[in-house]
Chains A and B, each alone.
Chain A
Amino acid sequence: MLISEQKPMEEILASLHNEQNIFLIGCKGCAEGCESGGEQQVLELKTKLEENGKTIIGYTMFDMVCDEPLVKTKLKYINDKIEPADSLLILCCGVGIQTVAALTHKVVHPGCNTLSLGGAHAEWREAERCMECGDCVLDYTGGLCPIARCSKHLLHGPCGGSHDGVCEVSSDIPCVWHLIVDRLSKQGRLSKLKEFKKPKNWGLGLIAGSPKRLQEGVPIRDGKQA
């Protein structure tokens, strides 16, 4: 089970700044189990967003969002519903958010932070996609994770070693920051990258080394039970 929790409402609203029509995606897998992205949470978030003046043009549940072939097929069915949306807000783990980001040209926003993959690596077998950092940055990186995929985990890339789209460490590793610049350029959101990102709090997920979960599988944050 992948452990996620919903991002604070202020952060979600900030990420939707200047966007009106939002489409919500929830997950019938781990996020439902964590009560961070099941149908009930999607509907609750829909209400809260509407109270904050947003228009929710629709929502859907995937089973599960990390399952690339499944998401690909289902996105095709609902393409005309998603198309009018300014962006997609996704409630699931970092792997699922990246699955959707990779399969659509739409802007995606993470609605959850991933605290732990619980030993599982979801359904995306091609490469490491999420490092359980507990403070998802996929919003400003166009749905491509620099924590998991940049050799230096940079928040302000690409570094001076990026060449012809590959990482200085190995020509087998795509430079994720090059991909991020390309994707945000295509979306007209490159200004996102020019903002300074504060030093990351590495103590929220498993990267810091200390388990952040109680034995019951309940996510905790900053030492307090959520």
Chain B
Amino acid sequence: MESKLEKILKAGHFAFTGECGPPKGANVDHLKEKISHLKGMVDAVNITDNQTSVVRMSSWAASIILLQEGIEPNFQMVCRDRNRLAIQSDILGVYAMGIRNMLCLSGDHQSFGNHPEAKGVFDLDSMQLIALVKKMRDEGKFINNEEIDVPPKLFIGAACNPFADPFEFRVHRLGMKIDAGADFIQTQCIYNMDKFREFMKMAVDIGLHEKCYILAGITPMKSVGMAQYLAKSVPGMDVPESLIKRLKGAEKGKVAEEGIKFVLEQIEEFKEMEGVAGVHLMAIEWEHRVPEIAERAGVLPRPKV
């Protein structure tokens, strides 16, 4: 069995991926309810790994529940919580259980979460994690060069934040991730379209879009409060004042609709934007609105490959 996401991208379809955070507990029913809205609407669903450093059900376990429900997971792994031994054994484990996509991340710093006293591991960084998964897959070897008995064949993803500083270096860091082995990229949530256009132009100019599939990350704004929170309190987010103004200008009870309209406009532009191979929709705790967004964005039905 191969990655469906990989096949869709290789066939030249415009990919559409979703995201879901595992429950803060072992509530399988709650997880199943959330992901039921995503089935058939997206090509794969990212399962976050203790996102924002808050403890949740492990991303590999939640990914397996998705598989059981007939949904392709994109298993996320952060370097914050594991050393190279745990990283490699978890990779073997998820592959053995049928997981085929993996997103390699450094992880938010532990001080942001609900266990700020924790010791961050960071034995490897995201760049080295990407190279490790590639080595395990392509060379069939562990990081110490020992042979692997049945290597894991994973479709390797990485993240990119075009809105972090220093801006000019970002595109080079993306290039390094691609050189290290990333097959696809999912970007940080995009709100500042001017800056993203500039970033994509730089990426296309050095040919990065030809070496890797770049999926543009989006998150619909549910409220003015959410926009203000993202603008002020979330590291690496760039929410322009004009968007906050636009949401504020919406009629009473219509702010969420304005937020959805904004992402629909974004998706339309991404479909035409050079170098963008798809969209990654992170509808945080808004999974039930994904079918409507997918429908109105004109990305249904999802291709069968």
Q: Which residues of A contact B (CB under 8 A)?
A: 151-165, 168-169, 175, 178, 181-182, 190, 193-194, 196-199, 202
Q: In the complex, A208→B208 CA distance in Å? A: 38
Which residues of the partner chain B approach A154 to less than 8 Å between Cβ atoms? 106, 122, 125
Decide if A181 touches B166 in the complex (CB within 8 Å).
yes
Interface segment, B12-20, B33-41, B64-72, B168-176? B168-176
Decide if B161 touches A169 in the complex (CB within 8 Å).
no
Contact of B98 with A by CB under 8 A: no
Contact of B244 with A by CB under 8 A: no
Q: How far is the CB of B131 from chain A (nearest CB, A)?
A: 7
Q: In the complex, A161→B166 CA distance in Å? A: 11
Contact of B111 with A by CB under 8 A: yes
Decide if B127 touches A196 in the complex (CB within 8 Å).
yes
Question: Number of residue pairs across A and B with beta carbons under 8 Å?
Answer: 92
A sample of 13 cross-chain residue pairs with beta-carbon separation below 8 angstroms, ordered by A number, consists of A151-B120, A156-B125, A160-B161, A160-B236, A162-B165, A162-B166, A163-B165, A164-B165, A165-B165, A169-B112, A197-B127, A199-B84, A202-B123
Which residues of the partner chain A approach B112 to less than 8 Å between Cβ atoms? 168-169
A-B CB proximity, top 5 nearest? A160-B161, A168-B235, A156-B127, A161-B235, A160-B236
The answer, among A152, A155, A163, A190, for a CB contact under 8 Å with B128, is A155
Please encode chain B, from 154 to 186, with 1 for each CB lying within 8 Å of some chain A CB and 0 for all others: 000001110011100100110110011000000
Contact of B59 with A by CB under 8 A: no
Decide if A156 touches B84 in the complex (CB within 8 Å).
no
With contact pairs A158-B166, A161-B235, A194-B175 given, residues A199 and B124 touching in the complex (Cβ less than 8 Å): yes
Decide if B165 touches A155 in the complex (CB within 8 Å).
no
Q: How far is the CB of B86 from chain A (nearest CB, A)?
A: 14
The answer, among B108, B126, B172, for a CB contact under 8 Å with A161, is B108
The answer, among B111, B128, B160, for a CB contact under 8 Å with A156, is B128
Q: How far is the CB of B79 from chain A (nearest CB, A)?
A: 8
Q: How far is the CB of B197 from chain A (nearest CB, A)?
A: 19
Q: In the complex, A163→B188 CA distance in Å? A: 14
Contact of B109 with A by CB under 8 A: yes
Contact of B143 with A by CB under 8 A: yes
Which residues of the partner chain B approach A160 to less than 8 Å between Cβ atoms? 159-161, 164, 188, 235-236
Decide if B166 touches A182 in the complex (CB within 8 Å).
yes
Q: How far is the CB of A172 from chain B (nearest CB, A)?
A: 12
Size range of the chain B interface in the assembly: 35 or more
Decide if A152 touches B109 in the complex (CB within 8 Å).
yes
Please encode chain B, from 70 to 82, with 1 for each CB lying within 8 Å of some chain A CB and 0 for all others: 0000000001100
Q: In the complex, A79→B175 CA distance in Å? A: 39
Q: Which residue of A lies closest to B105 (CB)?
A: A160
Which residues of the partner chain A approach B109 to less than 8 Å between Cβ atoms? 151-152, 161, 168-169
With contact pairs A160-B161, A160-B164 given, residues A152 and B236 touching in the complex (Cβ less than 8 Å): no
Q: How far is the CB of B174 from chain A (nearest CB, A)?
A: 11
Q: Which residue of B lies closest to A198 (CB)?
A: B128
Q: How far is the CB of B188 from chain A (nearest CB, A)?
A: 6
Decide if B122 touches A199 in the complex (CB within 8 Å).
no
Q: Within residues 17 to 56 of chain B, which ones have a CB less than 8 A from any CB in chain A?
A: none
Which residues of the partner chain A approach B169 to less than 8 Å between Cβ atoms? 158, 181, 190, 193
Decide if A161 touches B236 in the complex (CB within 8 Å).
yes
Q: How far is the CB of B227 from chain A (nearest CB, A)?
A: 18
Q: Which residue of B lies closest to A151 (CB)?
A: B109
Decide if A163 touches B180 in the complex (CB within 8 Å).
no
Q: In the complex, A153→B126 CA distance in Å? A: 11
Q: Which residue of B lies closest to A146 (CB)?
A: B125
Q: In the complex, A225→B253 CA distance in Å? A: 73
Which residues of the partner chain B approach A155 to less than 8 Å between Cβ atoms? 125, 127-128
Q: How far is the CB of B32 from chain A (nearest CB, A)?
A: 31
Q: How far is the CB of B162 from chain A (nearest CB, A)?
A: 9
Which residues of the partner chain A approach B165 to less than 8 Å between Cβ atoms? 158, 162-165, 175, 178
Q: How far is the CB of A160 from chain B (nearest CB, A)?
A: 3
Q: How far is the CB of B106 from chain A (nearest CB, A)?
A: 5
Decide if A196 touches B166 in the complex (CB within 8 Å).
no
Q: Which residue of A lies closest to B143 (CB)?
A: A199
Decide if A178 touches B235 in the complex (CB within 8 Å).
no
Q: In the complex, A184→B17 CA distance in Å? A: 38
Max chain B C-beta neighbours (<10 A), residue from A151, A165, A182? A151
6 new A-B contacts at CB < 8 Å, known A160-B161, A165-B165, A193-B172: A151-B120, A152-B109, A154-B125, A155-B127, A194-B175, A194-B176
Decide if A152 touches B125 in the complex (CB within 8 Å).
yes
Q: Which residue of B lies closest to A170 (CB)?
A: B111
Q: How far is the CB of B261 from chain A (nearest CB, A)?
A: 27
Q: Which residue of A lies closest to B172 (CB)?
A: A194
